[in-house]
Amino acid sequence: MTRAITRARGALATLAALAAAAALLDLGGLHRLEDGDSIVPVLVALQRWTPFYWDQERYGMLVPLLALPVRDPLWNLLLQRALLGLAGLAAVVLLARHALGARWRLAGALAVAALLAAAPAPWLFEYLWSQPYGLSLALALAGLAAAEPRPDPDRLAPALPGPGRIAAGLALCLVAHWVNAAVGLVLLPLAVARAAVDLAQGASRPALRLRLATEVALLAAGLGAGQVMIRLYPVLTGNLLRLPLGTLPPHEWPRAWAALLGRAWEASGRWPAALGACAAAGVLVQLAWPAARPHARAALLRAAALCLAALAYALAAGVLRWVEVNAYHWRYLAPAAVLVHLAAVSLLADPVARALREGPLARAVALALVPAAALAVAGAPSLARVRADLDAAAGRYTADVLAARCRLITGDYWSVWPAVWHAAWVAHARGLDAPVHGLAHRANPTAPDWAGTPREALRICRVRGKEAEAERALRDFRLWPVRVLERRGTVDVLAPAPPSSPAGARGRTSRPP
């Protein structure tokens, strides 16, 4: 009972530190990086919830579902960022628990603090807020922990937990693969690598077989469910499957890996150098300190398992056609980067934990470093600064859109969706009943909300400088040709031209002369 209470207190302390860090980040300076990709899930909660990201079939909208009751656009965004940030930070701690053995607590806390301190802001933004990697990892790792075989004092081998824990583990793994259909590609190689390390360390073969079989079964079930959901998407929605399935031809793999790694390296700044220095310092301490030397091999093997899993995932991600379509953006390596980060930090954390005997004071100090690092990265919490950053990132067109009483905003993807959210935020703050929707890539789910409006009553704000993208969107939604009603500083105000009008008959465009 005492041990259970101690574990519960430790878990609550860890959760409190992570929640504090997530809140500090949420009220800090990362909102200056908000863009179309990160804003769409907020609009999913505010305008029309769909099981997956709008016009997509592989990013499950769990967090927008949880945020549905919050109708204020600003607080909905902040709630979603807080939930995603907490999950992303918790994933690092859960990875430490999963891969680093008995001394994982201090290593996990130090790894989170080091991630916040060393990773460039765009990496943090993508991993914690914009992409599903952290959330899906946290859910899947929690599922594996729930179904983990437990030691049985009456038997030589551990026993599987009861049906309730197995069901909970399976449910969490399935939800994780709804959020991110590829999360199993990260954890399956890690499960195999971890089992190989434990075997090399003399662990019981029956226990290893049972644990590995359990993890493989849960992750395989999740991966299978993810693929089923992708393939059911066109059947259930009536929309075409937009995900290019399959891999590149083998002869293109080296080029693809080089492109993905090259883009990730360019975006990483000094992070790799910091990790290299951390790993080198850890190895030197373990080799030079007699008390740590007997444990150096185990620490190196566990770090190697994390790195091998990262490599396996990176190789798999690099040959996907979807990654090629998205120009080998470095965000696809975010899970691999987190694994390598944890591996490097663990090499130094292991001797530190042994030197301090990983007592309550050492763990408390490590946990205190987590919100301290968040404070150093994000700055002092300030709702006023958050508002200012969001105004700068998304508010360029709002004054003209609301003054023109536009129902739709059109242009390119990266300008439209932030503008839609910002207009909704300002309208809500002013108590205006002024619904605004986007007309760009991913607009299909919300088209029913305005499609019933008579053509002659539609006012459309077209972002200046994005005429070509706007024309494509207007044609796609059968609102072309258009006539210009007025021109404002940042937008042109349009209306669909009646089919029999001279503008429609001549097919005249509305481009500025």
Q: Measured between alpha carbons, how far is 139 from 237 in angstroms, rounded to an integer? A: 26
- Taking residue 475's Cβ as centre, other Cβ atoms within 10 Å add up to 11
The answer to whether 129 and 30 are in contact (CB under 8 A) is yes
Nearest to 247 by CA among 178, 335, 334, 185: 185
Widest Cα–Cα separation across the chain: 89
Please tell me the number of Cα atoms within 13 Å of 296 on its side-chain side. Answer: 16
Cα angle 326-332-333, degrees, rounded to a multiple of 5: 140
- In this prediction, residue 6 carries a pLDDT of 75
- In this prediction, residue 512 carries a pLDDT of 33
Q: Measured between alpha carbons, how far is 491 from 465 in angstroms, rounded to an integer? A: 9
What's the first-to-final CA gap in the chain, in angstroms? 79
Locate 166 and state its tokens: 């197995």
pLDDT along the chain (513 residues), means of 10: 76 96 98 97 97 92 98 98 98 96 90 97 97 97 93 61 92 98 96 95 90 96 94 80 86 97 96 97 91 89 97 96 94 97 95 79 90 96 98 98 97 97 97 95 95 92 97 96 96 88 41 32
The answer to whether 368 and 17 are in contact (CB under 8 A) is yes
**Hey, what amino acid is at 448?**
P
- In this prediction, residue 513 carries a pLDDT of 27
- In this prediction, residue 153 carries a pLDDT of 53
The answer to whether 176 and 136 are in contact (CB under 8 A) is yes
The DSSP output letter for 127 is I
Residue 147 to residues 194, 210, 327, Cα–Cα distance (Å): 17, 11, 38
**pTM of the complete model:** 0.94
Helices 296-318 and 271-288: crossing angle in degrees, nearest 10, is: 160
